[in-house]
Amino acid sequence: MKYEVKEQMYEGKAKQVFATSDPEIVMVHYKDDATAGDGEKKGTIRDKGIV
């Protein structure tokens, strides 16, 4: 099945959650971002979101 991605419902440090055309289903995108020291150090870990 194919769903249309709608508006972003939530964004946190590790993920973004989007509504879809089906109200029972959401799409979750996990980020590659990484932070340390209460956000003082920021970086990207390639493919971290896949794991």
Residue 4's pLDDT band, with cuts at 50, 70 and 90, is very high
25 vs 28: CA distance, rounded Å: 10
Q: Identify the three-state secondary structure at position 4.
A: coil
At residue 21, what are phi and psi to the nearest 5 degrees? -65, -15
| C-beta neighbour count of 41 within 10 angstroms | 9
Residue 42 has what pLDDT?
A: 84
Any idea what DSSP says for residue 21?
Answer: S
pLDDT reported for residue 49: 79
Query: Which pLDDT does position 35 carry in this prediction?
Result: 83
37 near 13, Cβ under 8 Å?
A: no
Percentage of residues in the chain having pLDDT higher than 90 = 49
Give the start-to-end residue ranges of the domains of the chain. 5-40
Query: At residue 1, does pLDDT exceed 80?
Result: no
The pLDDT value given to residue 21: 96
